[in-house]
Amino acid sequence: MLFFTQCFGAVLDLIHLRFQHYKAKRVFSAAGQLVCVVNPTHSLKYAPTRCAAAQTSVEQGVLSPCHHHEAVHDPQLVPCTCPLFSCPWEGHLEVVVSHLRQTHRINILQGAEIVFLATDMHLPAPTDWIIMHSCLGHQFLLVLRKQEKYEGHPQFFATMMLIGTPTQADNFTYRLELNRNQRRLKWEATPRSVLECVDSVISDGDCLVLNTSLAQLFSDNGSLAIGIAITTSKVHNTEAEM
């Protein structure tokens, strides 16, 4: 019976996953788009004010570590960029991707345009949905967060962070798109660097912000599909000149 129960549960999980993919492809009918089903991460370790403000040179993209103690740190080390955990890890920028994949098990999806399907939107705040997006020779971190900026009024915040320096981030433009029930909502902006800390981006409101009513308008049975596209800023400049 135990063997049967475990196998049956695995089959149900597989059916549920395929159903989530089908729903995303139904919402975004463009051919060739990759779909990534992202389950929520809910942790009691969440600390919304753990990241200190950046006190660095923009050109060098160096961030003082987000820790409130007097230890001396190597200025070339950056703290863990996984926003939902108070992770003590520090390392060089080029090994951030390896840390996120190995320690926090964050999935990575490749392609210029993908669909980010966040499940279980009804869960209480704070909750994060996170994936990495590999595109145009760089890695980006997409964070969707449910958080209460005002007590009793949760909101959803979606932003794209480049795993690189602020100077490198200025070379790209990202677009987030919600499309359902003959309604379409787009957000387009320059990604921020992970060196700037995702908590600061959300506090500043420099991201796609949805209240609960708007999120429900675009959700389908508790799941929210977000189309993601990344381009280089040089492409936009060329189009503007034409």
Indicate which CATH number applies to the domain containing 192. Answer: 2.60.210.10
Question: Token match 């996984």: residue?
Answer: 82
In a domain, 67, yes or no: no
In a domain, 14, yes or no: no
With 50 as the cut, is the pLDDT of residue 190 above it? yes
pLDDT tens per residue, range 8-35: 555 555 454 455 545 444 444 443 467 8
**Cβ count within 10 A of residue 179:** 17
Residues forming beta bridges with residue 223, ordered by sequence position: 220
Q: What is the pLDDT of residue 73?
A: 47
Q: Letter for the amino acid at 226?
A: I
CB distance 173 to 233 below 8 Å: yes
In a domain, 237, yes or no: no
**Cβ count within 10 A of residue 2:** 6
Residues 216, 211: Cα–Cα separation, whole Å: 9
Which residues are within 8 A (CB) of 58 and not within 5 positions of it... i.e. 6 or more apart? 166, 167
pLDDT tens per residue, range 115-156: 999 999 999 998 999 999 999 999 999 999 999 988 888 999
Q: What is the pLDDT of residue 85?
A: 62
Q: What is the pLDDT of residue 109?
A: 85
In a domain, 73, yes or no: no
In a domain, 65, yes or no: no
Structural domain boundaries, residue 36: 32-40+78-232
Better pLDDT: 203 or 240: 203
Q: What is the pLDDT of residue 160?
A: 95
Kindly give the pairing relationship between strand 192-193 and strand 138-150: unpaired
pLDDT tens per residue, range 46-88: 444 345 433 333 334 433 333 333 344 455 678 887 765 678 8
In a domain, 104, yes or no: yes
Domain count, the chain: 1
In a domain, 45, yes or no: no
CB distance 228 to 113 below 8 Å: yes
Residues 119, 224: Cα–Cα separation, whole Å: 7
In a domain, 25, yes or no: no
User: What mean pLDDT is predicted for residues 225-231?
Assistant: 94
pLDDT tens per residue, range 95-118: 888 888 888 888 888 887 899 999
With 90 as the cut, is the pLDDT of residue 222 above it? yes
